[in-house]
Amino acid sequence: MAKEIREWAVAILIAIVVIAVIRMFLFVSFSVDGLSMDPTLEDGDRVVVNKFIYDLGEVEQDDVIVFESNQDSAYVKRVIGVPGDTVEMVDKTVYLNGEPLQEDYVVHQEESYMDNFTLSDLGVEGDVIPQGQYLVLGDNRPISRDSRDFGLITEDSIIGEVQLRFWPLNEIAIDF
């Protein structure tokens, strides 16, 4: 009996350590708060964020990421511009390196406070996004707080890439 209890205790302890390692270094769940990524992600959606993916590769344009903000809690946004890119918005159309982006995920087209911007409007010196910095925008542009508000984000602030929506169960998805 004592041997069986000891075996169970060891198994439970190992499971706790494995879960702690996974949460600390590999994956973390995140709850979407607000409608800034609607319709891609909605208020209350639960997602899994891959924390180690950028240790293996680069942040890419169109990645949906979670990052620490200087203003509030963590934000979830879409990467629009990476280091070396030029980005501007003219009449609600985003231009990346001079070409208009095809953004099928942007469905809200109401007037917003900033439908036009250049990198210099966001406080960037020069014509391109500097190394280690990224321009992020929410998919629901009229209400999103994003790089138009707080400027570019740093690579160090990125927690990871959203890789799975697991809640609500009827909207499980892996492609954003």
Catalytic option among 36, 51, 144, 147 = 36
Return the structure tokens found at 146: 């994003």
CATH match of 29-174 with 2.10.109.10: yes
pTM (two decimals): 0.82
CA 94 → CA 14, 49, 61, 97, 117, distances in Å? 49, 26, 13, 10, 9
Which helix (H) or strand (E) segment holds residue 133: the answer is strand 133-137
Q: Which residue has the tokens 């966001």?
A: 122
Return the structure tokens found at 149: 């508000």
pLDDT on residue 121 = 85
Q: Which residue has the tokens 């321009």?
A: 135
Residue 77 annotated to the active site: yes
The residue extents of the domains of the chain are: 29-174
Task: Output helix, strand, coil percentages for the chain, rounded to the nearest 5.
Answer: 25, 30, 45
Coil, strand, or helix at residue 152?
coil
Q: Say which residues have a Cβ less than 8 Å from residue 31's Cβ, sequence separation at least 6.
A: 44, 45, 46, 47
Catalytic option among 29, 31, 73, 77 = 77
**How many Cβ atoms from other residues are within 10 Å of residue 106's Cβ?**
20
Q: pLDDT per position in the chain (176 positions), as tens? A: 788 888 887 788 887 877 776 666 667 888 888 889 999 999 999 998 998 888 788 999 999 999 988 777 889 999 999 999 999 988 888 899 999 999 888 887 766 656 788 888 888 888 899 999 999 999 998 888 889 888 899 999 999 999 989 888 888 877 77
